[in-house]
Amino acid sequence: MSTTPPQAPATLQLRRYQLTPDTLDSFVRWWQKDLVPVRRAYGFDIPFAYVARDTAELIWVVGHPGDEAAFTEAERKYNAWPDRVASMARQPVAPVSGTAAFVRDVVPPATVPVRGTDADL
């Protein structure tokens, strides 16, 4: 079993979608079943996604290899991809608002100390 943490994509973008309490669940179901597979098929990764029920938000991170310029170019092409266009046409409701910002990790990854033999205890 490996203790090395998985490598994060080189560029990450934090996205926050504000919905309404009555549309949050249908939007999230569509996002999980429809949009996530399309994003992944185009080479994007989604390291995490959370729902904040008290604010009716979907908060997620999307990543892509390369720098911000490479991410932006990949997203431009992705947005025109027929599978993505079709997925968006099936979107049950549009978010009330949304934000997206490139982010960088500021917490060093946790390390697991390497133990010697039981004799070293």
Q: 74-120 pLDDT, tens per residue?
A: 999 999 999 999 999 999 999 999 999 999 988 877 777 766 655 54
The pTM of this model reads: 0.80
Residue pointed to by tokens 């994060």: 8
Which one, of 106, 100, 6, 9, lies nearest residue 60 by Cα? 100
Sign of the Cα torsion 75, 50, 90, 34 reads positive
Q: Which domains does the chain have, with CATH numbers?
A: 11-104 (3.30.70.100)
> Residues of the chain with pLDDT > 90: what percent?
78
